[in-house]
Amino acid sequence: MTSNELESALADAEDAFQRKPKNPEAGLEHVSDPAVLQLRKACRLLDAADFLLDRNGHFTVIIESSFVAIERSLQFYVEETGYDVAGQRHTEVYELGVRAGLFSRDVAGRLEELWIENRSESYYRTGVAGEYRARTIHGLAVQLHNEIVRLTRTQDCICV
């Protein structure tokens, strides 16, 4: 790829994000509540991970989407309980989960440690993703998401 080709592709991407989507993602297109948007993004991430798990591959993507689904589900919960999560760092959402009464400080610490040590290793560093790791973190993400949906009694979840 030449420098001109790269710059052209970059300009196209910059332009794309300045435009309103012509074909928005189903289930997200008419959501005005920021908390519900986070919940539904979690649903989409979990669905994508399910799709990839069924095809036995892309474990790095499954791990990444599962960790992000956990964050999005937690963001929904804490926003629903009256906390502002705008601008927080990845791991701060776990502390907000404690404040909102979702889980104990011990659980929050373990979730944060899991994220720090394993998400970053699988994604950024030398760790290699595998099927068992992918299935296990995905199972945790689904369990947490389902518990949040149950606790909030939301009708806005679009998981299938």
For residue 123, what pLDDT is reported? Answer: 57
Token output for 9: 């592709």
In 3D, which of 93, 94, 52 has the Cα closest to residue 44? 52
For residue 30, what pLDDT is reported? Answer: 85
The per-residue b/e assignment along 1-10, b for 16 or more CB within 10 angstroms, e otherwise, is eeeeeeeeee
- Each residue's pLDDT, cut to its tens digit, for the chain (160 residues) gives 788 999 999 999 999 989 888 888 888 888 889 999 999 999 999 999 999 998 978 998 999 999 999 999 999 999 999 887 766 677 788 999 999 999 999 999 999 999 888 766 655 656 778 899 999 999 999 999 999 999 999 999 999 7
For residue 87, what pLDDT is reported? Answer: 65
For residues 104 and 98, is the Cβ–Cβ distance under 8 A? Answer: yes
For residues 49 and 66, is the Cβ–Cβ distance under 8 A? Answer: yes
The model's pTM: 0.87
CA–CA distance, 106 with 86 (Å, rounded to integer): 24
For residue 126, what pLDDT is reported? Answer: 64
For residues 119 and 59, is the Cβ–Cβ distance under 8 A? Answer: no
Q: Which domains occur in the chain, in start order? A: 33-152 (1.20.120.330)
For residues 73 and 144, is the Cβ–Cβ distance under 8 A? Answer: yes
